[in-house]
Amino acid sequence: MNAKERKYKLALVGATGVVGKVARDVLEEKNLPISEYVFFSSAKSAGKKIIFQEKEYTVRELKEDSFDEGFDFAIFSAGGETSKKFAPIAASKGCVVVDNSSAWRMDKDVPLVVPEVNSEEIKKNHGIIANPNCSTIQAVVPLKVLDDKYKIKRVVYSTYQAVSGAGIKGIRDLEDGANTDYKLQKFAHPIINNCLPHIDVFLDNGYTKEEEKMINETRKILNRPNLPVTATTVRVPVINSHSESINVEFENKFDMDELIELLKNSKGIIVQDNPASSVYPLATEASGHDEVFVGRIRRDYSIENGINMWVVADNLRKGAASNAIQIVEKMIDEKS
């Protein structure tokens, strides 16, 4: 059999979760040369039936011997603890894991990949490739293009993140939170009518872990280990798609029209920027798409060379499932 005819076997770990469901949808849309799929969950959902590509599958409980049967690829979306334990087991059996959790992202031997930005890192993997945090993925797609051309001096993130980023419990807190006897499952305070400047846990330095992830992952992906980056990450009462205000300072002078043209011509980016007609990226419109939407692009007059921009993307697709599947797709392309 030549490489082009080869069919692969893929495991989806966390197949019953919010990201897992979107991953199934994206895999159905893409129709990759994968002949065998196995869907894993914890004991809780094991035995559930899933219809995928018009076939019925039974969800299996993930166990230590689950990878003994041999897989080419596994996409993990089942939390950090599951990834820490099971990704090395899968890798030791010859499977390449693309991991959605934060467990492996800052490991120096694990590539942290956004295909539009640093797909050349994929081949450096030792069996585990990390998918970055959802809020980082959408930010680095435009930042890479701008860094290559104008050299970024500093980045300031302020995020407005959807509840789907907190999994099924986050969605419940928004959808059911208005019921009088509802007990919050995910957030420290009601998300209805509130913006919560609190995503993940607080660290000793006053930042949240989400903010620290954005800072460290941006540096790693852009290969700018000392880049000054700061972040304030906020959960807002939006079901899906994260919005971000990004302030960028450059080393070099730039022409505004040229900068916008550059973004317009970049892979994976859609510029929506016509304020006179109220056209700018919106969470409702980004949902269901894999591109990163950029608008409100304007000069920051408080510094010599800087801009502000508004960046929106579907956190479950580009921020998680689609990015992971694009990585698998790249690996398949490279084998053929």
Ligand X SMILES: NC(=O)c1ccc[n+]([C@@H]2O[C@H](COP(=O)([O-])OP(=O)(O)OC[C@H]3O[C@@H](n4cnc5c(N)ncnc54)[C@H](OP(=O)(O)O)[C@@H]3O)[C@@H](O)[C@H]2O)c1
Residues that bind ligand X (CB under 6 A): 13-20, 40-42, 44-45, 62, 77-80, 82, 100-101, 134, 164-165, 167-168, 315-316, 319-320
Among residues 14 and 268, whose Cβ is nearest to ligand X? Answer: 14
**Nearest approach, Cβ of 250 to ligand X (angstroms)?**
29
Is 242 considered catalytic here?
A: yes
* DSSP code string of 66-94: GGGG--SEEEE-S-HHHHHHHHHHHHHTT
Among residues 100 and 208, whose Cβ is nearest to ligand X? Answer: 100
116 is written with which tokens?
Answer: 């539009």
Is 134 considered catalytic here?
A: yes
Among residues 17 and 295, whose Cβ is nearest to ligand X? Answer: 17
**Nearest approach, Cβ of 58 to ligand X (angstroms)?**
13
**Closest-approach residue to ligand X (CB):** 17
List 95, 134, 195, 198, catalytic entry: 134
**Nearest approach, Cβ of 139 to ligand X (angstroms)?**
13
Q: What are phi and psi of 242, to 5 degrees?
A: -90, 140
**Nearest approach, Cβ of 131 to ligand X (angstroms)?**
7
Instruction: Specify the long-range contacts of residues 192-198, CB closer than 8 Å, at least 24 apart.
Output: 192/237, 193/237, 194/237, 195/160, 195/234, 195/235, 195/236, 195/237, 196/234, 196/235, 196/236, 197/232, 197/233, 197/234, 198/235
What gap in Å lies between CA 187 and CA 170, rounded to an integer?
7
Instruction: Specify the long-range contacts of residues 264-267, CB closer than 8 Å, at least 24 apart.
Output: 266/116, 266/141, 266/142, 266/145, 267/116
Among residues 37 and 40, whose Cβ is nearest to ligand X? Answer: 40
List 126, 189, 242, 289, catalytic entry: 242
| Residues classed as catalytic | 134, 242
